[in-house]
């Protein structure tokens, strides 16, 4: 770009800010349209809507009422004092009623809601994004927009007019108290003047404004929470900007051959490319796994292991290439078609990604209740059965995730992943953060569940003990491509320089340290 004269630099800065603001406005608008579309069509999550109505409406009553009573009282006092200078004290009831119903009631209720509710929505949804709970929801065949966003938008639109009605009544009442108790205004005259002066449109216009304000308040909080990045979770591709640059031909140079055989792979990545604005994370990634087999993907931090799995699970869009399941391309499936396909998945996330607001059994039964629409009683019985399979007794089913140890969270996550008898299970660093004994127990449980279900398993891990226990085969990922693939029993004698360095933990070799 040509250099800009210094005198024009402020103009360029204003132009950049204007373009950024327009992009942001467009993104928020599209988000709102998607939220309205989700709220306008089934399935509806009535329980979620009820909980949000209580949170947004009922719990906001004290602060809205307190603000309204003092606003009405102050407004009455100031109008009486100011009107007295023109001998117009008698219009005080009319002005108080008009000001509160048309303007102050909706605005003050919306401000209180923005301070108490919008920030809470952003924090709650942002925490769910950072801890992969929203990703988990998608793998459980549940649309996060329908479950999280639509109920909050509806609750705000429905409850803010009700809160405004309460604020109108309390605010006018506050003015009445000041007028009659402090200013010696006749109580009967005050009420009659207020009633006679107010017109229906004065009240209705205020309620319509409050509905619009409610939508804006909820939309703002939901948008910033849903699009939160960073924080408790790193970039999905880790330290991608510090990774080595390798080309697509590397896997062939190292003698890695595609799997052959007459059987159609259960899952296949074919020529997958993905970048996040920097060096490529996946650069022509090719890998496949047969039905009933357990494949472990190993590799250094930031080499794209999690990205590859999340692309296959529909959590990240690829830039180029294909994802095939049973020989069928699935990378372009959206909406209901993808959620139907996701019923074939199960996924155990690195941090377990349990829903903080739900009990253990509700976490396990989430898909059964919200996607399969199974009655809660039947879903609970199946959840308790799944918990028993991972060695969690019934008395722990009513606890919440915050009350569980790391190992128990992993087991609950495993029970949630297998409860739907999936064809494919993804395991994202299943033993990270666990002590060796607990890690071995989780590995054994995973092997037991995978063999019992006869499903296909894809595991990503740094833990070589996990790779040997869980996997039938191991694939080494480096530079966005597979540089070695072979039986798990061959890890220690692969003859591949990348695998040998990774297994031994040597500092010297083709893998460069990122420290």
Residues 318, 183 share a domain: no
Which residue range is the domain that position 451 belongs to?
Answer: 240-354+404-504
Beta bridge partners of 457: 294, 425
Domain count for the chain, please give it.
2
Enter the DSSP assignment of 344: T
Q: What is the pLDDT of residue 262?
A: 59
Distance CA(422)–CA(346), nearest Å, equals: 6
Tokens read off for 256:
């890695």
Would you say residue 374 has pLDDT above 80? yes
37-79 pLDDT, tens digit per residue, is 998 888 889 999 999 999 998 999 999 999 999 998 988 888 8
Answer whether residue 399 is part of any domain.
Answer: no
Annotate 16-68 with DSSP letters as a single string: HHHHHHHHHHHHHHHHHHHHHHHHHSS---HHHHHHHHHHHTGGGHHHHHHHH
Answer whether residue 302 is part of any domain.
Answer: yes
Enter the DSSP assignment of 489: G
Residues 273, 339 share a domain: yes
Enter the DSSP assignment of 86: T
Q: Domain boundary residue among 226, 248, 278?
A: 226
DSSP strand pairing (280-289 vs 267-275): antiparallel
Answer whether residue 369 is part of any domain.
Answer: no
Q: Please say whether the beta carbons of 178 and 79 come within 8 A.
A: no
Distance CA(478)–CA(422), nearest Å, equals: 29
Q: What is the pLDDT of residue 247?
A: 40
CB atoms under 10 Å from CB of 374, counted, come to 16
Residues 46, 101 share a domain: yes
For the segment 400-407, the average pLDDT, to the nearest whole number, is: 92
Q: What is the pLDDT of residue 255?
A: 45
Confidence of residue 239 (pLDDT cuts 50, 70, 90): very low
For the segment 380-388, the average pLDDT, to the nearest whole number, is: 94
450-481 pLDDT, tens digit per residue, is 888 889 999 998 888 888 888 899 999 988 89
Enter the DSSP assignment of 490: G
Backbone φ and ψ for 358, nearest 5 degrees, come out as -110, 150
> Collapsing DSSP states into helix, strand and coil, what is residue 364?
helix
For the segment 219-224, the average pLDDT, to the nearest whole number, is: 94
Q: Domain boundary residue among 176, 195, 226?
A: 226
Q: What is the pLDDT of residue 4?
A: 63
Answer whether residue 251 is part of any domain.
Answer: yes
Annotate 365-434 with DSSP letters as a single string: THHHHHTS---HHHHHHHHHHHHHHTT--GGGTT--GGGS-HHHHHHHHHHHHHTT--SEEEEESTTTT-
For the segment 2-12, the average pLDDT, to the nearest whole number, is: 74
Answer whether residue 233 is part of any domain.
Answer: no
Confidence of residue 514 (pLDDT cuts 50, 70, 90): low
CATH code assigned at 483: 3.40.50.300
For the segment 505-511, the average pLDDT, to the nearest whole number, is: 83
Q: What is the pLDDT of residue 367?
A: 93
Q: Please say whether the beta carbons of 281 and 237 come within 8 A.
A: yes
Would you say residue 246 has pLDDT above 90? no
How far is the first Cα of the chain from the last one, in angstroms, to the nearest whole number? Answer: 35
For the segment 5-16, the average pLDDT, to the nearest whole number, is: 82
Closest by CA position to 35, among listed 144, 152, 149: 149
Residues 173, 222 share a domain: yes
For the segment 292-298, the average pLDDT, to the nearest whole number, is: 92
Answer whether residue 380 is part of any domain.
Answer: no
Residues 496, 467 share a domain: yes
Residue found by looking up tokens 């009405």 in the block = 72
> Collapsing DSSP states into helix, strand and coil, what is residue 276?
coil
Residues 266, 209 share a domain: no
Distance CA(323)–CA(329), nearest Å, equals: 6
91-147 pLDDT, tens digit per residue, is 888 888 888 998 889 998 999 888 889 989 999 999 999 999 999 999 999 999 999
Predicted TM-score (pTM) of this structure: 0.83
Tokens read off for 310:
């999340």
Q: Please say whether the beta carbons of 269 and 246 come within 8 A.
A: no
Residues 432, 283 share a domain: yes
Residues 206, 247 share a domain: no
Residues 261, 197 share a domain: no
Burial class (CB in 10 A: 0-12, 13-18, 19+), 196: exposed
Q: What is the pLDDT of residue 3?
A: 67
Residues 138, 76 share a domain: yes
Q: Please say whether the beta carbons of 328 and 342 come within 8 A.
A: no
For the segment 136-161, the average pLDDT, to the nearest whole number, is: 93
Q: Domain boundary residue among 202, 226, 250?
A: 226
Distance CA(388)–CA(394), nearest Å, equals: 8
Residues 260, 156 share a domain: no
For the segment 163-190, the average pLDDT, to the nearest whole number, is: 88
Burial class (CB in 10 A: 0-12, 13-18, 19+), 233: middle
Answer whether residue 334 is part of any domain.
Answer: yes
* Residue 290 CA: distances (Å) to CA of 141, 261, 304, 347, 454: 24, 10, 21, 18, 12
Query: Is the N-terminal amide bond of 53 cis, ω within 30° of 0?
Result: no
Q: What is the pLDDT of residue 347?
A: 92
Residues 262, 217 share a domain: no
Burial class (CB in 10 A: 0-12, 13-18, 19+), 42: exposed
Closest by CA position to 267, among listed 415, 88, 473, 464: 473
Answer whether residue 332 is part of any domain.
Answer: yes
């Amino acid at each position: 770009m040509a250099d800009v004269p210094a005198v024009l630099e402020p103009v360029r800065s204003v132009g950049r800010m204007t373009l950024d603001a327009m992009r942001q406005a467009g993104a928020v608008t599209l988000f709102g349209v998607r939220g309205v579309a989700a709220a306008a069509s089934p399935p509806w999550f009535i329980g979620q809507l009820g909980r949000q109505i209580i949170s947004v409406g009922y719990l906001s009553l004290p602060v809205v009422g307190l603000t309204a009573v003092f606003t009405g009282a102050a407004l009455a006092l100031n109008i009486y004092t100011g009107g007295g200078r023109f001998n117009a004290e008698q219009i005080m009831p009319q002005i108080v009623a008009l000001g509160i119903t048309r303007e102050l009631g909706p605005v003050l209720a919306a401000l209180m809601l923005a301070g108490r509710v919008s920030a809470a929505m952003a924090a709650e949804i942002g925490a769910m994004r950072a801890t992969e709970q929203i990703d988990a929801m998608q793998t459980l065949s549940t649309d996060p927009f329908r479950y999280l966003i639509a109920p909050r938008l509806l609750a705000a639109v429905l409850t803010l007019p009700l809160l405004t009605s309460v604020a109108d009544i309390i605010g006018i009442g506050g003015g009445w108290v000041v007028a009659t108790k402090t200013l010696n205004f006749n109580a009967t005259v005050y009420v009659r003047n207020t009633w006679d002066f107010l017109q229906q449109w004065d009240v209705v216009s205020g309620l319509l404004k409050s509905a619009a304000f409610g939508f804006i308040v909820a939309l703002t909080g939901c948008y910033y929470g849903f699009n939160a990045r960073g924080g408790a979770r790193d970039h999905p591709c880790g330290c991608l900007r510090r990774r080595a640059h390798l080309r697509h031909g590397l896997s062939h140079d190292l003698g890695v051959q595609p799997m052959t055989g007459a059987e159609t792979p259960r899952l296949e990545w074919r020529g997958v490319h993905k970048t996040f604005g920097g060096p490529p994370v996946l650069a022509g990634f090719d890998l496949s796994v047969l039905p009933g087999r357990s494949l472990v993907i190993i590799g250094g931090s930031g080499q794209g292991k999690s990205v590859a799995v999340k692309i296959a699970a529909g959590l990240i869009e690829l830039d180029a290439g294909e994802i095939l399941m049973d020989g069928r391309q699935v990378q372009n499936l959206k909406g209901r078609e993808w959620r139907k396909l996701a019923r074939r998945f199960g996924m155990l996330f690195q941090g377990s990604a349990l829903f903080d607001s739900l009990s253990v059994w509700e976490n396990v039964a989430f898909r059964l209740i919200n996607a399969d629409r199974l009655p809660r009683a039947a879903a609970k019985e199946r959840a308790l059965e799944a918990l028993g399979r991972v060695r969690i007794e019934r008395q722990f089913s009513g606890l919440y995730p915050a009350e569980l140890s790391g190992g128990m969270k992993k087991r609950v996550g495993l029970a949630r992943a297998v409860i739907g008898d999936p064809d494919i299970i993804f395991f994202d660093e299943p033993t990270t953060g666990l002590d060796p004994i607990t890690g071995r127990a989780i590995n054994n449980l995973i092997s037991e569940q995978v063999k019992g279900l006869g499903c296909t398993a894809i595991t990503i891990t740094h833990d070589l003990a996990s790779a040997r226990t869980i996997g039938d085969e191991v694939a080494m990922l480096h530079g966005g491509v597979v540089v070695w693939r072979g039986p798990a029993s061959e890890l220690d004698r692969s003859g591949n320089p990348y695998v040998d360095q990774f297994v031994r933990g040597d500092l010297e070799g083709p893998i460069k340290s990122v420290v």
